[in-house]
Amino acid sequence: MKKTISVIIPAHNEEEGITHFLDKELFPVLDKIKDYNIETIFVNDGSTDKTLSILQQYAEKSRNIKVISFSRNFGKEVALAAGLRYAKGDAALTMDADGQQPPSLIPKFIEKWEQGAEIVTGVRDHFTKHGLVQKLGSKLFYWLLRKMGNRYTVPGSTDFRLIDRAVIDEYNQLTEHNRITRGLIDWLGFNQQYIEYTYGARIAGKPSYNLSKLFHLAIDSFISMSTTPLLIFGYIGVIITIFSFLLGMFVIIQQYILGDPLHLYWNGAVQMEIFITFLVGLVLISQAITALYISHIHAETQGRPLYIVDKKASRNL
């Protein structure tokens, strides 16, 4: 029996470019793939233009073209989650509707999957589309992510990816709401391979992700994947406390025990300032401790499974 591949495409207000993308780029590639059944799943993410009716017309023509339509805009991450939930394929390939990711690479993704990869991720070879701010921003983002202990995410990795049924099933079990698909799939583990590609220009229309949305996405990634931001202030607190404690001891010994041999004449105000700095340090530390408790609660509410079993690799369970 032929294997099935589900191609999942989230679309939000893409009326200007989507017809061109589908007729001229995506479907010609998919039509050439004869060894697999292809199901195409569009997720209309609350478009306010004609995107939905365009997609519905495609769905009329073929039963293998499916449209999930959201009641409003829920964001691309959620749209991908819905697509993966409805996907029936042995593998699912996710890509954007704006033509920035070349469909001509799809056979390559499938090939890598057939060779044993369970996740094949498209990685941008360079940042063609973005302006300087976004370029620097994304460099900083990956640097921070790494510093915060997320070792799974490769810089430049995108949502142009193919994932095996085993990974889809595990992904569908995850219940957290504030989700970053990339981060979650990386977190799941499995045999991951990469394909480099050049991120093209949009066929038409404007990206829905502006700088501020990207910024929020970055913050969400940090918060959902790691607790380090909570602890930074705790570390600062420790440094301040130690420093002001040493300074305080210095004042006591130098001024009161030895009788100010250095002739500093530090008065009460200076001593008070050192003492207050010491207290500020303590407050920061205690905040970080509270933050740790919150982070544990946060981890519990995310409800992630303790571990992911690779069912294909396990035996006689």
Residues at the contact surface with Mg ion, assessed by CB under 5 A: 96, 98, 100, 207
Asked if 97 touches ligand UDP (CB under 6 A), the answer is yes
Determine the interface stretch with ligand UDP among 96-104, 178-186, 230-238, 247-255 (rule: CB under 6 A).
96-104
Q: How far is CA 232 from CA 10, 19, 137, 215, 280, in A?
A: 36, 48, 20, 20, 15
* C-beta of 96 vs 186, nearer to ligand UDP: 96
Contacts of 78 (CB under 8 A, 6+ apart): 45, 70, 179
How many of the chain's residues bind ligand UDP (CB under 6 A)?
A: 16
Give DSSP secondary structure letters for 150-189: --SPPTTEEEEEEEEHHHHHHHHH---SS--HHHHHHHH-
The Cα 83–Cα 90 span in angstroms is 14
- Applying CB under 6 A, among 15, 25, 39, 98 the residue interacting with ligand UDP is 98
Bridge partners for 180 per DSSP: none
| The pair of three-digit structure tokens given for residue 9, joined into one six-digit string | 């495409």
* C-beta of 206 vs 312, nearer to ligand UDP: 206
Asked if 79 touches ligand UDP (CB under 6 A), the answer is yes
The Cα 139–Cα 143 span in angstroms is 6
* C-beta of 95 vs 168, nearer to ligand UDP: 95
Quick note: the x/- pattern for ligand UDP over 38-77, rule CB under 6 A, is -------x---------------------------x-xx-
Asked if 161 touches ligand UDP (CB under 6 A), the answer is no
- Applying CB under 6 A, among 6, 10, 164, 170 the residue interacting with ligand UDP is 10
Decide which of Mg ion, ligand UDP, none touches 227; Cβ closer than 5 to 8 Å per partner kind.
none
Q: Which residue has the tokens 């519990």?
A: 300
The Cα 124–Cα 128 span in angstroms is 9
Decide which of ligand UDP, Mg ion, none touches 79; Cβ closer than 5 to 8 Å per partner kind.
ligand UDP
Q: At what angle do helices 165-173 and 181-188 cross, to 10 degrees?
A: 110
Residues that bind ligand UDP (CB under 6 A): 10-12, 14, 45, 73, 75-76, 79, 96-98, 100, 207-209
